[in-house]
Amino acid sequence: MLEECRWLYNYLLAQRKDAYEQTKETLSLYDQHALLPALKKDRPSLSTVHSQVLQNVAVRIDLAFKAFFRRIRKSYEGKGEKPGYPRFRGYGRYDSLCYPQAPSGCNLVGNSLHLSKVGPVQVVLHRPLEGTPKTVCIRRSSTGKWYATFSCEWKPAALPVSSEQVGIDVGLKTFATLSSGEEIENPRFFRTEEKALAKVQRLLSKQEKGTPSRAKRRKVVARVHERVGWRRNDFSHQHSRRIVNRFGFIALEDLEVNRMLHNQCLGKSISDAAWAGFRQLLEVKAEWAARKVVAINPAYTSQTCHACGHRLSSGQRLGLSDRIFDCPCCGLHIDRDLNASLNILALGIQRMSNQSLEAVAL
């Protein structure tokens, strides 16, 4: 089924490309949907795939071109984003199919997932479904595992009201420092697996391209990356859940992580910490729980005394290796990350107050 979807993806992409080159016209999503019945007659193997899954392939092509044109507009505006024309998919490079109107074609009954054109498949449920399933995506991972992801219409239940407030300063020495004085250690998952990854990559490089042994070694490399991803995601889920359960107001830094990754010395460590993923999970869980999250500009939060408000001058600025903040004005001696988290909390409260005043004025 994946290979049939891959063939259709390449066919529809070539069709759009040829139509523009020959007639300067752009085919729409509905034009390509209308071609599917005739394609099924010319290629009977397409009938082994559910009709809505085939329609979803055309939707992916349409989204790919919309993203392409959006990137072109941004490049003209000087945003520096490369357009990246949609590419054809090689063998084994199409790894998912989507049922957009569940339970049509895909229905979960107990521990069996009934797939159209396939039949019942035994599954291991991560947790019972909550709400009404709307879409189901079947995905094959790089290590050959299969996953079914359900998107459900669901009304979350708010957690009990909490009056506790917290500011969070993320870093590399410690993953996060809370304004309450607690620290979350940085596990450095990728760094701990670096030697194992280097070993399996050396073995992969010795295999001849296109051979079964190289495919086997490639799966071993993918397994190491998968293990790192699992541990990192579990870490982010666990700590974001604990913070949301405890605090009613959360202030954190609005970091531009993509720009920070260009740092040649710290890029790998920043990527390993996965601050953006942690923030995303924190915001999603907070919205479900009816908690308030505010992202503030992190500028000078490490260089300003939270007690008296004095900002260090250019000659007094703390470097990355300086871990203690000494205020020359009030004499405060405090860990720099804790000082930053207290400043972040104060700025978050100030922003909330300003928003409340604006709402009253309106």
C-alpha 191/C-alpha 189 separation (Å) is 6
C-alpha 1/C-alpha 121 separation (Å) is 15
Cβ contact 234:274 at 8 Å: no
* Nearest CA among 145, 146, 139, 142 for reference residue 219: 142
C-alpha 156/C-alpha 173 separation (Å) is 35
What's the Cα-to-Cα distance from 306 to each of 46, 327, 354, rounded to whole Å?
65, 10, 19
* Nearest CA among 75, 45, 43, 286 for reference residue 162: 286
DSSP codes joined into one string, 93-145:
---EEEETTTTTTEEEETTEEEETTTEEEE---SS---SEEEEEEEEE-TTS-
* Nearest CA among 348, 350, 362 for reference residue 286: 348
Cβ contact 52:104 at 8 Å: yes
User: Active-site residue among 4, 62, 272, 337?
Assistant: 337
3 catalytically annotated? no
169 catalytically annotated? yes
226 catalytically annotated? no
Three-state DSSP class for residue 250 = strand
Three-state DSSP class for residue 120 = strand
* Nearest CA among 127, 152, 177 for reference residue 302: 177
What's the Cα-to-Cα distance from 124 to each of 104, 130, 147, rounded to whole Å?
21, 16, 9
Which contiguous run of DSSP H or E holds residue 152? strand 146-153
Which contiguous run of DSSP H or E holds residue 184? strand 183-185
Alpha-helix residue ranges (DSSP H) falling in 26-118: 29-42, 51-76
User: In terms of residues, how long is the chain?
Assistant: 362
Which contiguous run of DSSP H or E holds residue 12? helix 2-23
User: Active-site residue among 169, 182, 183, 335?
Assistant: 169
C-alpha 34/C-alpha 30 separation (Å) is 6
Strand-pairing partners, residue 140, are 146
Q: Which residues are catalytic?
A: 169, 253, 337
